[in-house]
Structure 1
Amino acid sequence: MSKQSISICWLRRDLRLGDNAALYHALKSQNPVLLLFIFDKNILDKLPGKTDSRVTFIHETLLQLNQQLQTYHTSILIKYGTPEKVWPDVLNSYNVASVFTNHDYEPYAITRDSALAEYLSSESIAFRTFKDQVIFEKDEIVKADGKPYTVFTPYFRQWRQKLNTFYLKPYPSDNYFKNFFTTAAFEIPSLKEMGFEKSAQALPGLNFESKLGDYEERRDYPADDATTHIGMHLRFGTVSIRHAAQEALKQNADKWLSELAWRDFYMMILWHFPQTATQSFKSAYDKIKWRNNETEFTAWCEGKTGYPLVDAGMRQLNETGYMHNRVRMVVASFLTKHLLIDWRWGEAYFAEKLLDYEMASNIGGWQWACGCGNDAAPYFRVFNPELQTKKFDPDYKYIHKWAPEYKQQKHVKPIVEHAFARERILKVFKEALNS
């Protein structure tokens, strides 16, 4: 039992040492700081397979951080278990005066942190939390009457107006690394011990700065691969959102900056309206009579719909854990509008497959595609996959890469005809919304 009073900084979605709000405040507190990470069984047990690239990414990132920390004669205490079981063990082993962590806006995280706050309070331990993974959170961007924005354009107008160097100033946590708790290296649980295997899937590197120059011009063309692949790094906090926004301003990448604002917007929506995790933001849409045909859903999942762009997107997702942003909109619209399959089915499939899965943005994107979310556009916007192909992949470069059978003309017959599907969805949506 260490008699020395320490602070704990609990890492979650902020797997970096530099420009980390909670770590900065912890290191500036009066006690030496021990880093903690929990491989949370409540989350891991719900993953469908034993080879999950996201778990591999977290594990490898923690190994790298641990190596950096050896220079400062410290180590990350990495536990595998549920937070409710891990925390009492940690408090038994150390004399903990305070716990620091960064905010998380997802429903499970809010419940978990609320329970921990109560538990720590009963043990007379201070629990301090900070904004770190977004630029503006909760009530920081609201309407004049104090209510949250529910449409992006006016939200973004105020977001952009408020954005200044104060909000983008990095936290100089590295100035205080001498305040880490001195300890020998802890043993790190292996992937195998946690029931996982190392994924062979390629993980995205971090070089988003080089993609910003022609992002606005080329972002919609999937064959160009002109997007930044920063999603996974933002999801797990291996890059600071402040650094990302600063870089966008430096390069005048306004369109890309607005994508960061969309991320803030959806986090804020999920925080204010937690029911949207499972229900449509526009509740009338929960009356829609979905067809939910399982055979058609399987065809969509496997990229065998007979629509080239949809099939290429789903194959890319299944093979790499990534799908081009424009194509995400097309496949989501196709599932909900052409096949009349509940957006929640698609959202769950993306949650399982996407390396950069982030609950708020994924739910927001799916509800946007369906027309039931935060969107001023009416429900009768239905993407035509053939027109999208002509516009954004006219030479079939992307399609031939991921669905080569279209090159040999050996593809399956389309599972539904576009004009018919459009008429059907308009009728069904209209009936539900007028009932």
Structure 2
Amino acid sequence: MGSVLVWFRRDFRLQDHLALSEALTYCKKNKSELVFVFQLNRRFFQESENSLRLQYFMATVKDFGERCRKLGTELLIVEGDTDEAFQQVLKEHADAEAVFFNLDEAGYGKERDQKMRDWFKDREISVHSFQDAYIHGPNEVLKKDGSIYKVFAPYYKAWKQKDKPGVKKLSFDELGKYVRKTKQISKRAASEIEKLSGGSESMDWKIGEKAARSQLKHFIEQALANYPDGRNIPFVKGTSLMSRYLKTGTISPRTVFTAIAQADGEEDSKEAYIRELAFRDFYQMIYARHPETKNQEFLEAYRSIQWNQDDRMLQAWKEGNTGYPIVDAGMRQLNQEGWMHNRLRMITASFLTKDLMIDWRLGEEYFAAKLVDYDPGSNIGGWQWAASVGTDAVPYFRVFNPVTQSKRFDRDGEYIRKYVSELREVPSSYIHEPWKMSEEEQSKSSCMIGKDYPAPAVDHQEQRKKVINLFKNEK
């Protein structure tokens, strides 16, 4: 009886998992046993051990390991470069005859998968890989001539016309019959997961497959009906919070799509949410076909822009000390929780690139280090959209006014007060523009501008003119 390796990377679930489903079918046919593997790559250690993103990811791995244990097996944690890690696995499971995994189609993961296909084949281990992370992969929604869509509207029209993949249901009991009773190969690597997830218990995180499904159910019952409006109000729980679960693969996009499509309620609300799932696919397609956009503007016309080199301003933005309450609230939420409401992602990105005129790459890099739901395609696409340098981006002359955005989406300042403690006593009439308070009003509010809370880093109207001229000169 041979073994079948199932290589988990960012798909930590036992339900609706293409690679696992196909591996189980293979085992039934060939009377083989399932062996679950996770590679702890040294790339993980390049991040700070205090990184919330790293903690969240490793806490998810830990949770999945416990779930595998209930199934009757171990999630084998092996450390090192990919070939080194699997060499360790083969020493213990020399009868491996096949490997199943859900592939990566962009960035480092794509290169790794291409390399490991050859590595496994050289050892006469058959390779079975699947597109599982997106509803439609980068090569599925294309123009008739095989080229990609560069504008979302026609892409979405074509996306909607495609048949949607169904949910793969797996029986927990049936899986239990085919898993091999394994032991950890490296106690050090297994303990490293424990160490790297340290501190996650103190965060208000609900982690794992059960939490993902519970959150989806809660969203459909409580917030989907008002999603078109509620999703824009940061203090209201109007979003699904699925991004972190999709990032770690504790729920599949097919499961999310199917649940939303089959839910009761207004079609407009469901359509608004499904459109966001399509946006996720769209940005992944752009990144997969144009990996250079990680470091280069999609629009060639803007590749020579001379962005401001101002470390002091950049640091103020990172810390949430720009003097613009809505911007600072968003950045402080990111630093404290490893997450930020999507409306605030747009506001803070626009502020960095249009008001401070600082390179979008620096913002993308900071978000990448902080966000627990970091998805390269979506993050890069979002930043290039805000900076007006990407495909189908916001026009360069559309510059978010942070005060207007604040008044519109946090009218009473509840979100601001939650994250900017210095402003908690500031009256609602000044919460969006505290610098307009008189000295007497500042004193009453225990918020002296320039002392307790910074004065605005820049004048928005002046910066708006400057950045528009900057882009005009590049055309």
SS at match of 1:28: helix
Deviation at 1:51, TM superposition (A): 2.2
* Partner of residue 231, structure 1: 243
Superposed displacement of residue 122, structure 1: 1.5
Paired residue secondary structure (2:96): strand
Q: Is the contact made by 1:56 and 1:191 (CA closer than 8 Å) also made in structure 2? A: no
Aligned counterparts of 2:245 and 2:83: Cα–Cα separation in 1: 27
> What is the alpha-carbon distance in structure 1 between the residues aligned to residue 57 and residue 322 of structure 2?
34
Where does the alignment leave 5 or more consecutive residues of structure 2 unmatched?
A: 427-444
Letter in 2 for 1:183: K
1:210 counterpart residue number:
218
Tell me if 1:298 matches 2:315: yes
Shift of 1:182: 2.2
Q: 2: distance between equivalents of 1:68 and 1:322?
A: 25
Identity of aligned residues (%): 36
Larger CA deviation: 223-232 vs 128-137: 223-232
1:23-61 CA deviation, whole Å, 9 max, x = no partner?
11111112211110112112x1221x2123344334433
Structure 2 residue corresponding to 1:19, chosen from 13, 16, 22? 16
Assess if the C-alpha contact under 8 Å between 1:313 and 1:327 holds in 2. Answer: yes
Distance between the aligned counterparts of 1:192 and 1:9, measured in 2?
19
Separation (CA, whole Å) in 1 of partners of 2:40 and 2:458: 43
- Relative to structure 1, is the Cα distance of residues 312 and 64 closer, same or farther in structure 2, using a 3 angstrom cutoff? closer
Mapped contact 1:8–1:96 kept (Cα < 8 A)? yes
User: SS state of the match for residue 99, structure 2?
Assistant: strand
Which residue number corresponds to residue 142 of structure 1? Answer: 142
Instruction: Indicate yes or no: 2:162 matched with 1:162.
Output: yes
Contact 2:38–2:77 at 8 Å: present in 1 too?
A: yes
Distance 1:426 1:354, change over 3 A: same
Match of 1:428 in 2: 470
Find out whether 1:45 has 2:64 as its counterpart. no
Q: 1:184 to 1:125 in 2, by over 3 A?
A: closer
Distance 2:255 2:55 in 1: 25
1:201 aligned residue: 203
Name the SS for the 1:88 alignment partner. Answer: helix
Separation (CA, whole Å) in 2 of partners of 1:20 and 1:312: 37
Q: Which amino acid aligns with 2:199?
A: K
Amino acid at match of 1:21: L
CA–CA distance in structure 1, aligned partners of residues 411 and 462 of structure 2:
24
State how far apart, in whole Å, the 2-side matches of 1:213 and 1:120 are: 48
Q: Is the 8 A contact 1:234 1:240 kept in 2?
A: yes
The Cα shift of 1:333 comes to 0.4
CA distance in 1, matches of 2:304, 2:109: 29
SS at match of 1:336: helix
Change (3 A) 1:378 1:133: same
Q: Judging changes above 3 Å, is the alpha-carbon distance between structure 1 residues 68 and 322 closer, same or farther for their aligned structure 2 residues?
A: closer
C-alpha spacing 1:168/1:192, structure 2 compared with 1 (3 Å)? closer
- Residue 189 of structure 1 corresponds to which residue in structure 2? 190
Does residue 269 (structure 1) correspond to residue 313 (structure 2)? The answer is no
Gap change, CA 1:419 and 1:70, over 3 Å in 2: closer
Q: 1:72 Cα deviation (Å)?
A: 4.1
2:299 corresponds to:
282
Distance 1:319 1:255, change over 3 A: same
Shift in CA distance, 195/216, structure 1 to aligned 2, threshold 3 Å: closer
More deviation, 321-330/245-254:
245-254
Local SS of the residue matching 2:257: helix
- CA drift of 1:179 comes to 5.0
Report Cα offsets for 1:279-316 as digits up to 9, x if no partner.
11112222100012110001101111111110111111
Are positions 1:413 and 2:455 aligned together?
Answer: yes
Query: Counterparts of 2:330 and 2:100 in 1: how far apart (Å)?
Result: 41
State the 1:256 CA deviation. 1.1
For residue 214 of structure 1, give the secondary structure of its aligned residue in structure 2: helix
Q: Residues 413 and 65 of structure 1: is their aligned pair in 2 closer, same or farther, counting only changes over 3 Å? A: closer
Q: Is the 8 A contact 1:379 1:429 kept in 2?
A: yes
Secondary structure at 2:3 match in 1: strand
Structure-2 change in CA distance of 1:377 and 1:70 (3 Å): closer
Alignment match, 1:172: 170
Residue 8 of structure 1, CA deviation = 0.3
- SS of 2:235 mapped into structure 1: helix
Q: Give the Cα–Cα distance (whole angstroms) in 2 for the partners of residues 163 and 209 of structure 1.
A: 24
Q: Deviations over 1:183-218 (max 9, x none)?
A: 144356123776674333322453133222222121
- Aligned to 1:414, the other structure's residue is in SS state coil
Aligned length: 426
- Residue from 341, 349, 352 that aligns with 1:324: 341
> 1:195 & 1:184 partners in 2: Cα distance?
23
The offset of 1:118, in angstroms, is: 1.3
Counterpart amino acid of residue 401 in structure 1: K
Equivalence for 1:56: 55
The amino acid of 1:225's aligned partner reads K
Contact 1:317–1:354 (CA<8 Å) still a contact in 2? yes
Go from structure 1 to structure 2 and tell me whether the alpha carbon gap of 1:103 and 1:195 turns closer, same or farther (over 3 Å shift): closer
Structure 2 CA distance for aligned equivalents of residues 348 and 380 of structure 1: 24
Preserved CA contact (<8 Å) 2:53 2:370:
no
CA distance in 2, matches of 1:193, 1:233: 20
Conserved? CA contact 1:27–1:173, under 8 Å:
no
Q: Any conservation in 1 of the 2:51–2:369 contact (CA below 8 Å)?
A: no
Q: Matched residue of 1:279: which SS? A: coil
1:90-135 CA-partner distances (Å, limit 9, x unpaired):
2232221111100213310011111111111211211111011111
Question: Is the CA contact (8 Å cut-off) linking 2:78 and 2:88 kept in structure 1?
Answer: no
Computed over aligned residues only, the root mean square deviation of the Cα atoms, in angstroms, reads 2.0
* Residues 1:421 and 1:375: Cα distance change in structure 2 (over 3 Å): same
Question: Which residue number corresponds to residue 8 of structure 1?
Answer: 5
Equivalent AA in structure 1 for residue 204 of structure 2: A
**1:57 to 1:419, Cα distance in 2 relative to 1, 3 A:** closer
Question: Is residue 114 of structure 2 the alignment partner of residue 114 of structure 1?
Answer: yes
Contact 2:56 2:197 in 1 (8 A): no
Contact 2:401 2:460 survives alignment (8 Å): yes
